[in-house]
Structure 1
Amino acid sequence: MIGNLCFTIFVFFVLIFTIIAATYEPDDLLFHPSTQITNFLTSTSNATFRSDITVAKTGEDFAAPNQTVVGSFINITDVDTSSFENAADVAVQLTDCDVGPDTPIQCSDPEVFHLLMKSAIEHFKDIHFYKFGKAVPGSNDSSCDMAWRFRPKEGKTASFYKDYRRFVISRSGNCTLSVVGIGEYHSGVNARKRKKNQKPGFEKKPDSGTIQVVGETVNDTLPVVESEKAFRHGKYLLYTNGGDRCKNMNQYLWSLLCALGEAQYLNRTLVMDLSICLSSMYTSSHLDEEGKDFRFYFDFEHLKESASVLDEGQFWSDWTKWQKKDGLNLYLVEDFKVTPMKLAVVKDTLIMRKFGAVEPDNYWYRVCEGETESVVQRPWHLIWKSKRLMDIVSGIASRLNWDYDAVHVLRGEKAKNKELWPHLDTDTQPEAIISSLRDKIEEGRNLYIATDEPDTSFFNPLKDKYTTHFLDDYKDLWDEQSDWYRETMKLNNGVAVEFDGYMRISVDTEVFYRGKKQIETFNDLTSDCKDGVNT
């Protein structure tokens, strides 16, 4: 009888446990504050990096979209239309009609400004306008340029965008003005606000905000120490050598953020090597390539304004000049197991962490493992994607009027590996994609296809149902005539910069994220697991 009673109690507890396990739903971290998402992402000591992970998430990806809404956007009803004679035709009758049809347009006239605002709001129906700049003369007497800050109506990313367009204005015989043409993305170059030449400063500036603004002029000059006194009183942290070099970009960022986190914990300036080795997985030569500038890929302007950082080349130049004279000391650490907590008492000017040659014990991110991970937090908010790359993303989305759907089609080596992904090749054939999209995307829609398939003619059958668009359709945004080409070449000491594989994947992915509907490869097109069978 005692045995039966014990067995009954055992069965009862098993039943209760089974019910709890079947009905329990853990909290979804995606609905938590960004700080909890950061804790989740940094909570694994033995972090691993897979070579097939190609695009790294950065700080702006973890900012909630509603953080960008600062005040209300501008509606058509907010524009002063009291002097408009024909609102339907977006026209305005100037008060002073003592002019002829060929008289130059006065872009500074408030009524012309209201005309351009109303015309822009009516023309671009899929974006919210938050701020308009003043109208300035365009290329001739009948055109005006004007800039504005906006967000797409269905935007899922925490960013503002800036555009500036050229408006062609016509005046009729009775002095009625009307907009007869609006230029392409960034056509109103005279309205682009240029930042004044500022002397680079070492002192940390106030944070300009937690929201990236795409389309502004970029000021990512290198910070410098302006005086010997400032350098002598500074405290610095430097990571050198190690096995992270030439690894994929996710590992590079994971390790860099560990260094930034330790520098903030120790209240020191991080000395950065801005020269990146780009992994062969992103290069056209299929070889690791040295000499890539950090600023090609990430927003250094935001980093230097939000944290205390210094270029390594500039630092060693100043160190050589003043080290002996001022008695500056270096504290060398050659074991990643020496925690930041132990280094908090070090008073030397420079703490240098030197990493050896044995992988994985020479990875920078090892510093932030173990007991350190509960003390040093990776400051994700400091790293944003390059504004120059994001400007290309904005250009593509603007040409599609921010009114498009997107599908991600991943094929490449995975589609060839039938052992790990048995159905991927079949499920990403054009006929299968059309079948998958039939109930998800309406026929005739603009469809942006983000893909690693090199031959885009592979997707020609989709043209019968949709208007298809690919990254290479917009090559002019990074060719020799583009702002991106000129600005990156200037950063690269006059040498042209290749629009490399990481840039392509990054832009392709970001355009995909801005589609109104987003169809993923592994969530929507195929039932195969993202990392292969049984994962």
Structure 2
Amino acid sequence: MATINKPLKPKPLTKLRSLIPTLILCISAIALLCLFSSLISTNGFSFSSPKNLPNKPRRQHTTHEKYLYWGSRIDCPGKHCESCEGLGHQESSLRCALEEAMFLNRWAESSCVMDTLYDMDLISETVPVILDNSKDWYRVLSTSMRLGARGVAHVGGISRFDIKENSHYSNLLLINRTASPLSWFMECKDRNNRSAIMLPYSFLPTMASQRLRDAADKVIALLGDYDSIHVRRGDKIKTRKDRFGVYRTLHPHLDRDTRPEFIQHRIEKWVPPGRALFIASNEKTPGFFSPLAVRYKLAYSSNYSGILDPVIENNYQLFMIERLILMGAKTFIKTFKEDDTDLSLTDDPKKNTKSWQLPVYNMDEVERK
């Protein structure tokens, strides 16, 4: 492979901004799931690669199904609807909604635009999902209106355990979660309790729509034997002044650790020289990672525009394809360590919302490791 050092070509921000409300409506409407305890056990799950799943006909609904609706305010909590979250938080919220539907043995409903991002049939192999523009959804709405108080309950601040154990809720056709002002994933109170997580974090990344998976497969085939790194910078290296005018950051080593010279030092023990290295990043500076080309054969998604441009309509789809390519590498190095077995560019914790610290740029402590 020839050395490639073109940076990732960003999509116009206006196009991304115009999609965010649609995506919010699309994933937010995710929320209706039917009685499927006969298909799946909540005691444990095993997931196959999307390529290995058999082509099964979509499960048909019956008159005995129950539904969960989370509503349209996915990650626009309270009065902050102008600052809706990105795909990462929205996926956390989506996973939370799917898990609750699984826990309550209900079907989930999702918006019609969501199928441009995810394979609905593939998700339904584990968590049955219907679209909110389908005849099934209109049937649910009309039936719930006819049943009145016996058809629907608008709940907020009520735990999933109470909903499951209280016969008043468990016997209703439709549970509506839109009464809660919180982000979806904030309702999952036990997110740090591994035993409480019913869907692995790898579930939704492998549920990309068929056309996105096909595009990723074509790029992976062209890359051949390669390694990959995800370099998250822009939104995570922000600083602010304290009351003494000193700049501080939530991730003190991140800006340093994601610069080319530090990346090379960090990954040299994992990626031998001469390897093809696929880079996905939100860094906007042209040629930022070019210094790595003296050691590796660099590749970016922008090098495969002939494959990707006909498929990608927004940055969400681009990131989902890049994520599949990253995961397909022989060695995948993340920005932050998420699991104990992960390789990462930095040792800073990903979750830090309180401790603003002085940025560190020197090499001293890196050399000591």
TM-score by length of 1: 0.44
Check if 1:273 corresponds to 2:110.
yes
Q: Give the corresponding residue for 2:320.
A: 506
Change (3 A) 1:298 1:364: same
Q: What SS is found at the alignment partner of 2:318? A: helix
- In the alignment, is residue 318 of structure 1 matched against residue 139 of structure 2? yes
Matching residue's letter, 2:294: D
Question: Which of 202, 225, 234 in structure 1 is aligned with 2:65?
Answer: 234
Q: Structure 1 residue 399: deviation in Å? A: 0.8
Q: Which has the higher contact order (CA 8 A, sep 6+)?
A: 2
Code of the aligned partner of 2:218: G
Deviation at 1:462, TM superposition (A): 2.6
Hey, what does 1:469 align to over in structure 2? Answer: 299
Q: Which amino acid aligns with 2:151?
A: L
| Contact residue 405 and residue 445 of structure 1 kept, 8 A | yes
**Higher Rg:** 1
- Residues 337, 367 of structure 1: 8 Å contact kept: no
The correspondence of residues 158-173 of structure 1 with structure 2, limited to 5 A, is none
* 1:295 corresponds to 2:112: no
3-state SS in 1 of match to 2:274:
coil
Cα separation, 2, equivalents of 1:431 and 1:368 = 40
Residue 161 of structure 1 aligns with which residue?
A: none
Deviation at 1:436, TM superposition (A): 4.2
CA distance, structure 2, for counterparts of residue 426 and residue 210 of structure 1: 37
Tell me the SS of whatever aligns to 1:240. Answer: coil
- Offset of 1:477 from its aligned partner? 2.0
- Structure 1 pair 217/374, CA: closer, same or farther in 2 (3 Å)? closer
**Which whole-Å CA distance do the structure 1 matches of 2:194 and 2:252 have between them?**
41
Question: Residues 215, 224 of structure 1: CA spacing in aligned structure 2 closer, same or farther, 3 A cutoff?
Answer: closer
Residues 240, 355 of structure 1: 8 Å contact kept: yes
1:395 aligns with 2:218: yes
C-alpha distance 473-264 of structure 1, shift in aligned 2 (>3 A): same
The structure-2 alpha-carbon separation of the partners of 1:240 and 1:320, relative to structure 1 and needing over 3 Å to count, comes to: closer
CA gap of 1:391–1:426, structure 2 versus 1, over 3 A, is same
Pairing of 1:9-158 with structure 2 (within 5 A): none
* Letter of the structure 2 residue corresponding to residue 391 of structure 1: D
Long gaps (5+) in structure 1: 1-201, 276-292, 486-496
Q: Give the superposition deviation at 1:437.
A: 4.5
Distance 1:304 1:347, change over 3 A: same
Q: Distance between the aligned counterparts of 2:175 and 2:332, measured in 1?
A: 45
For residues 461 and 294 of structure 1, the distance between their equivalents in structure 2, rounded to whole angstroms, comes to 39
Of the three residues 231, 252, 260, the one matched with 2:90 is: 252
Per-residue CA deviation, residues 207-235 of structure 1 (Å, 9 max, x unaligned), is 8x8312339998998x775xxxx43x433
Q: Please give the alpha-carbon distance, in whole angstroms, between the structure 2 residues aligned to 1:366 and 1:434.
A: 37
Match of 1:404 in 2: 226
What is the RMSD computed on CA atoms of the aligned residues? 4.3
Paired residue for 1:353, among 141, 160, 176? 176
Q: Closer, same or farther in 2 for the Cα pair 1:234/1:328, shift >3 Å?
A: farther
Q: CA deviation at 1:413?
A: 4.1
What 5-or-longer segments of structure 2 have no aligned partner?
1-33, 41-45, 77-83, 240-246, 337-342, 358-369
Q: How has the CA–CA distance of structure 1 residues 263 and 376 changed in structure 2, closer, same or farther, with 3 Å as cutoff?
A: farther
Residue 289 of structure 2 aligns to a residue whose secondary structure is helix
| Whole-Å separation in 2 of the counterparts to 1:346 and 1:529 | 40
Q: Tell me the SS of whatever aligns to 1:458.
A: coil
SS of aligned partner of 2:326? helix
| Number of aligned residue pairs | 287
- Equivalent residue letter for 1:453: E
Q: Against the structure 1 CA distance between its residues 337 and 412, is the aligned structure 2 distance closer, same or farther, given a 3 Å change threshold?
A: same
Query: Residues 345 and 400 from structure 1, CA distance in 2 versus in 1: closer, same or farther, beyond 3 angstroms?
Result: same
More strand per residue: 1 or 2?
A: 1
Return the letter of the residue paired with 1:235: K
Give, in angstroms, the shift of residue 264 of structure 1.
Answer: 3.6
Corresponding residue for 1:516? 330
Contact 1:302 1:382 in 2 (8 A): no
1:455-495 Cα shifts (integer Å, max 9, x gaps): 45222233233211111111222223xxxx3xxxxxxxxxx
- Distance in 2, matches of 1:243 and 1:256, equals 8
Identity %: 24
Is contact 1:404-1:516 (8 Å) kept?
A: yes
Q: Distance in 1 between matches of 2:105 and 2:348?
A: 47
